[in-house]
Amino acid sequence: MFESKASKRLLSIYLMIILSVLTVLSGCRNNIVIEETPDTPQAQVLHITATAFAPYDFCRQIAGDMADVEILIGPGEDSHSYTPSNKDLEKIKSADIFIYTGTENRINKAIETGDNPNRKIINVSSLVPNLEVKIPEEMEESFETDDTAIRHTKYDEHVWTSIDNAEVICQEIADTLCEIDEKNSSYYRSNCEVYLSQLSSLKRDIKRIVSTAERKTIIMAGRYSMRYFAEEFGLKVYTAYPDCTKPYGDYPEAVKYLEEKMRNDYIPVVFYDEMTQGSIAQKITDGTGKKTAVFYSCHNISMEDYIGGATYLELMTRNKQTLETALN
């Protein structure tokens, strides 16, 4: 009986202690200030619009997941005859960043209207020295069938075929992204540094190929879109066309000159640009056993390469590989 009463008393004491502790804990909990962590802000997806493939791809590499990058010229379309539609102009108007070559006259007029004061505009041609299209003096007579072919100053708009220029453009893209999205600047800078390193490696490879090559001469049986490339790597280009803005087939004397040049100098490869079927290159090499190959200007991209996810680096690497054959 005594033990039963003692046990009940002890149980009551335990219960009182437990209730007291719970009360204290409850009071402490009520006095704790719980700091609410604000929702992590969603990264604002930037909208970037480009007219040409090379700067479009640069933007993809540097902006990564932080931007929606769009190219206006569809895969396989002739970029030299591109005229922006009203829909394209609306995309340009609403873009956070618009990047273009600087040679599209209608676009130049459109962006002068100041329709979007917050939009950043990058004119790639304004970032680097512009080079005149230059054909060898010994070929000038081949183009005299057209008085305008060699008597008017023309500039090559494919500035990104120089890897030095590509690096300048990429740095400008990174700077612009950091300016309008400062909180993610380290992300853009990091992406840019990695990409610049890849470009630098490609440039070293091409310089090595040229420095050890048997010749420094290239035949381009198509639009002349490699002025900057030739300048950077010390190459001389003989072309079937004095620039990159007119239709094919106007200069039979030039084609004849290239046929003789290929045979006399034992040139193993004749290039043509990626947006053509290479008919002139094929005509020059017919019956000779020589090869034809694409030189990728990266102004636009074929549907096949677009579907395959090709990049500027990939296309320029193809140029490097073919160049090694063409110069040896």
Q: Where is pLDDT greater, at 3 or 324? A: 324
Burial of 155 (0-12, 13-18, 19+ CB in 10 A): middle
Give residue-wise pLDDT tens across range 23-60.
Answer: 544 444 344 333 344 343 446 789 999 999 999 999 99
Average pLDDT over residues 129-150: 78
Would you give the DSSP letter of residue 298? -
CA distance linking residue 244 with residue 228, whole number of Å:
13
pLDDT for the residue 14: 52
Give the Cα separation of 99 and 96 in Å (integer). Answer: 10
Residue 5 in this model has a pLDDT that exceeds 50: no
- On average, the pLDDT of the chain sits at 84
Local confidence band at 227 (pLDDT 50, 70, 90 cut-offs): very high
Tokens of 261: 């040049």
Using the structure block, give the residue that is written with the tokens 């992204």: 177
**Angle of the 312-326 helix axis to the 53-63 helix axis, nearest 10:** 130
What integer pLDDT is reported at residue 196 of this predicted model?
98
